[in-house]
Structures are given as C-alpha cells and as structure tokens.
Amino acid sequence: MHEAGLVGLRTALTLLLALLAAQLCVWLGTPIPWMLGPLLATALASMAGGPTHSSNLLRNSGQWVIGTALGLYFTPQVSALILAQWWAIILAVLWALALGALFGLWLQRQHQAELAHLPPRALLATTYFSGSIGGASEMTLLSERYGARTDLVAAAHSMRLVMVVLAVPFGMQWAQHQWGLTVDASLLPGPRQAQWPGLFWLGLVSAAGGWVMVKMGRTNPWFMGSLLASMALTLAGQEWSAVPNELSNAAQLVIGVSLGIRFRRDFVTTAPRWLASVAWGSIVMMAASALFGAALAWGTGLHLATMILGTAPGGITEMAITAKVLQLGVPVVTAFQVCRLVAVLLIVGPLFSGMARRWTST
C-alpha cells in the first residue's frame, strides 16, 4: 500500500479506537468523556507499540471548533465581570511563574547528579522549562533555544498534562455530586441554539481569525484566533449561532487523540526516575494551585470550582473544555488561562536569561 494510504489507514483506525473509548466513557459517566476516553485509549495503544497516528489538520480543526465555542461565552456582562478581576488575573500569572520556577529548581536539585554531563546552563534550562506552567510544545521549543534536553522537557509536560487532565475533571465531577456545584447562569454562552446560516458565518469569521494568527506566527493559532474572533462577535452583540454539541464532541475527540499519541513506547523507559519526580511534583503543584484558587475565590467572590480550574497547572484547551462540559464558569476559566499562557510565553525566556546569568556567575 502507498505510504499516504498507510498513514490514512492508521489515522482512521486511531479515530475508531478513540470513538469507541469515548462511547465507553459516556456509558460509564466519566467527566469530559469525549476527550478523556480518546486520550487514554490512544496513550495506552501508543505505549504498547500500536500504529496510532493523529492528523494535524484534524487537531487544528478541533482547536478551531473549541475556540469558537468558548468565545460565545464572552458576553458584555461577563467581560465586565472579568475586567473587574484584573488584579486576580495578575496574581494568578505571578503564582504560575513562581510555582514553575520553584518546581524547576527542585527538579534541578533532585537530578543534578545524573544530569551532570550537561553544561550548567543546559542543566538549568532543562529543569526550568520542565517546571514552567505553559504549553508543552511552546516550552519545548523555548528550551531548545537554550540547549536543554528537549526530550526530558517534553516528557515532563506530557506527564503533568495527562495527570491534570485526569485528576481535575474527576475531582470537579466528584465535588458536583457531593455538593451540587453550580455556577451563576449569567456565565453561560450568549447564543444557545445552533442555526443556519448563522453557524456558517460564525465558522467563516472564526476560521479567518485562525488564519490571521497562522500568518502572524502565533502559538496555538487555530485556538487563539478562533477564540478572539468569536469573542469579538459576541461582545459586539452578534449572536449568529451556537456550536452544535456533536461538533464540540468531535473536536474534543481529535484533541484527545493528539494528546494521547505523545506517549510512544519509549516514553516509560525515558528516564523513569525523572518521570517519577515530575509525577510527584505535579501532585504537589495541583494541590498548591487548588489552595491558591480557593484563596482567589474567597478574595474575588467568584465560584470555588471556577477559580480552581482557572489556576490549575494544565493546558488552556483542556481546562476550558472541562469548564464547558461541567458548566463551571467557562469565560472566567478561559480568561485566566489565556492571560497566564500569554504572560508565561512572554516572560519565561527573559526570566530564564536572568537566572542563567546569576547561576553561571556564581
């Protein structure tokens, strides 16, 4: 069979496996089943040596759909609420930077002996960017500029992301069952029903936003571009259409697949002690961030579950999907996560340069 045909077959089989896993999770009643099921199934299959494959086109399409759906929550009333909490967003950014730096320093102390073959700057870059709370691909690319071991950085972020994506939704679902967590209905999206041709125009405008971000060379262009375009329409009072649940579920599925295929067969054999440290540190980071989120909830008057999701050390897409599916304050969670991501991407590089100069001069 032609190589392109083999790749297409592998992609189709991976999607079929993901669909079956999603349906199983729906039947079991797990949180965010359309993302968790595909993520776990493809991760296990990939680590077992299965011929899994994910299409970049499908992943980008999934991010486009999710970004568009999240932007519909940013009504003028909600946006005013978020702007009033600017100080809390700044505190959340500072918290993420400090927590990531401390985690990186702890990793350095734990693994300094076994990574002694690395130059001092490369050692610091490896541990620092492994601890930074940002997108996995973005942190890996940044670490490469400073000579880090990118395989360890990528493994650290993949490990932490999957732990957060597994732990936080289950924790939120458990809390909902125990205490009946609900969030103010004013935080629900503007348009509630999908309608034609509004959905077509919404898709066209949000796709244009993604295309602009691609041309500008921004990170997560299809997510960020569609989110910003959809936000702009909602703020302007243009409520053309909601995003159908079926389309949102399909988007979650392909995003779950794109996360799951990171875990190849050699993942578990790549520095197992390093992965154990990352796993333990991730648990501590989640617990500390939950306490910090609780403190912000007390200080802002916002919902506890919303602030825990907003400050969780996971990816923006995954935490926003969790908030969307469980209806736990999507716009606030998205705003906190977006601001943190942008700030971290802008600050961690210069912050590392300053730390590296101080480190190498002593």
User: Higher pLDDT residue, 21 or 240?
Assistant: 21
Encoded amino acid at 144, one letter: E
Q: Residue 42: its pLDDT value, please?
A: 86
Q: What is the overall mean pLDDT for the chain?
A: 79
Task: Evaluate the CA torsion angle 36, 254, 285, 188 in order and state its sign.
Answer: negative
Q: Residue 291: its pLDDT value, please?
A: 92
Q: Are 339 and 92 within 8 A, CB to CB?
A: yes
How confident is the model over 26-46, as pLDDT tens digits? 888 777 788 778 888 888 888
Nearest to 237 by CA among 74, 69, 84, 65: 74
Nearest to 311 by CA among 299, 296, 325: 296
Q: Is the pLDDT of residue 6 over 90?
A: no
Q: Residue 288: its pLDDT value, please?
A: 92
State which residues form the domain around 131. Answer: 3-361
Give counts: helices (H), strands (E), the chain: 15, 0
The span from the CA of 127 to the CA of 148, in Å, is 8
Task: Evaluate the CA torsion angle 299, 302, 307, 310 in order and state its sign.
Answer: negative
Q: Residue 295: its pLDDT value, please?
A: 92
CATH of the domain at 108: 1.20.1530
CA angle 334, 296, 183 (to 5 degrees): 55
Confidence of residue 359 (pLDDT cuts 50, 70, 90): low
How confident is the model over 66-76, as pLDDT tens digits? 888 878 877 77
Q: Residue 323: its pLDDT value, please?
A: 76
Tally the domains of the chain.
Answer: 1
Q: Is the pLDDT of residue 188 over 90?
A: no
What's this model's pTM, rounded to 2 decimal places? 0.74
Q: What is the mean pLDDT of residues 96-114?
A: 86
How confident is the model over 320-335, as pLDDT tens digits? 777 777 767 777 887 8
Confidence of residue 292 (pLDDT cuts 50, 70, 90): very high
